[in-house]
Amino acid sequence: MRVLFIEKQIDYEPQGIMQLSSCLKRDGHETFLAIAAQEDPIQRAREVEPDIVAYSVMTGSHQYYFDLNRQVKSALKDKAPFSVFGGPHPTFFPEMVSEPGVDGICVGEGDEALVDLANSLANGRVKPDLPNWWLKLEDEIVRNPVRPLLQNLGDLPLPDRGLVYSRHDYSRVTPIKHFMGSRGCPYNCTYCFNHAYYQIYSREKRGNQRPVDQIIAEAQWVRTQWPLQQVVFIDDLFIIYDDWLEEFADKWPKEVGLPFFANVRANLIVKGPHKVELLKRAGCGTVSMGVEAANDRIRVQLLKRRMTREDMIQAGNMLRDAGIHITSTNILGLPSSRLEDDLDTMRLNGQARISYSHAFLFQPYPGTELGKFAEDQEYMVGSFDDISEIAWERSIMVFENPEEKSQVEHLQRLFALGVEWPRLEPLIRWLIKAPHNFVTDTLYWWMHKLFKGYMIKSRIHPVKMSPRDLFIAAKQLMAIRS
């Protein structure tokens, strides 16, 4: 079978698509990629003539992909491909299989599921009893249960990076490349989909890690083919298992020796100071740590992040004293929060010595506990279909004061500046009172973008780049809608 993946835009290597592609190729299928931001996906589909067209969909982008899929189907009506959707939104809303033009929805993991579908089509027809699939067959919807989660991630082939690098210049030339060392997370943060995911996969182990030797082999292979100076591990939680981390800290510096970026959790750092030593020994240059909210009620009760302000400050000091930079994630405009809460979060980031702070506007994603809370308590304006593709532009939450909503949206752009220079808080309080208009929004966007680019290049990913590659990286940063 010929399988065409269509992505609207690529910010960095889409791990899921690369893994799906390698699994398909292992079973003898052909895979292709179209990136709508840089080419006409309809024309690409005409060239490829796929048997299957596949979309990975987040909430907020689903309507875009529905429309695009209908166009693809229309353009290839003489031999219409079988259209399938996977990813977070289809997993929690498989009922979208009833949308016009949608033939199948993959619920949960797709590594084996997509291969099964391709094999079934190659044999002449779609088997109705394929685990993980909701299928529209002759106007009847077939709903299949999920198979067990993959436990041994080492059984998977290495991700098909060539699929992306052959068509996306930035991902190919950048010396910063993204890897996955594990899947899953044991925590139940209410804004995250993990708790809902493990309702689908009940009684499953909540977190599986790839063998250290396989990760090392992948890094060594990538380095022989493409530029590689820093590895970014995008796992939900890199440091959870001590035995795995100890093995990694022993082998990685000897066999790879590249600096890397990983995600950590403040209370795990405070309870296990040895994890900082292991990260440092392994060559970790930067970590990401969720701060999210300074207010104790919001953080502990609303978000279910059971850690203290002191945990985050202490973890920040431990990491920075070890010479490891820290980025943080923060959520502004949460249900029942106020502007002063978000400004307090900005101050907490400074106290925790965060090297660069990412701030996001809360999006009440469906399938999450907090999304349901926002809907039930009528904190939302509109419906889930009104959620933005990105969490940086506008909030769809109800605020007690409309002016405060505008101020929180502006604060998102200026948040990192306030963390870096706390003395700017009075100025920031004044700047966020400006009305939304083209001039103000553009000015604040540029302030945010330029500062973010500088901090990433100087602190978070301080890699050497040629002028040409630096230009490509800057162009990529400006193209990302953040």
pLDDT, position 81: 96
The 3-state secondary structure of 33-82 reads: EEECCCCCHHHHHHHHCCCEEEEECCCCCHHHHHHHHHHHHHHCHHHCCE
Q: What are the CA-CA distances from residue 88 to residues 133, 377, 449 (Å)?
A: 14, 24, 28
pLDDT of residue 472: 76
Mean pLDDT, each 10-residue run in order, the chain (482 residues): 96 94 98 96 96 92 92 92 94 92 96 97 93 92 95 94 95 94 88 84 85 97 96 91 96 98 96 97 97 96 95 98 98 95 98 97 88 88 65 77 93 98 98 96 94 93 83 74 58
Q: Answer for the pair 181, 235: CB distance below 8 angstroms, yes or no.
A: yes
Q: What is the residue type of 253?
A: P
Q: pLDDT value at position 314?
A: 98
What's residue 77's pLDDT?
A: 86
55: β partners: 85
Spatial distance between the Cα atoms of 126 and 134, rounded to a whole number of angstroms: 12
> What is the DSSP annotation of 6-36?
EES--SS--HHHHHHHHHHHHTT-EEEEEET
Which tokens belong to 455? 């901090």
Contact 94, 106 (CB under 8 A): no
Q: What is the CATH number of domain 2-143?
A: 3.40.50.2300
Cα dihedral 90, 92, 93, 97 in deg (nearest 10): 40
Q: Cα–Cα distance between 99 and 50 in angstroms, integer? A: 21
Residue 392 DSSP class: S
Q: CATH for 174-479?
A: 3.80.30.20
Domain borders along the chain are 2-143, 174-479
CA distance 470 to 270: 37
Nearest 5 degrees, angle CA 65-CA 110-CA 235? 95
Q: Token pair 């009847």 is at which residue?
A: 140
Q: Where are the beta strands (DSSP E) in 280-365?
A: 284-292, 325-332, 356-361
**pLDDT (0 to 100) of residue 382:** 67
pLDDT given at position 482: 56
CA 227 remoteness from chain centre: 23
Per DSSP, helices labelled H in 226-304 are: 242-255, 266-271, 274-282, 296
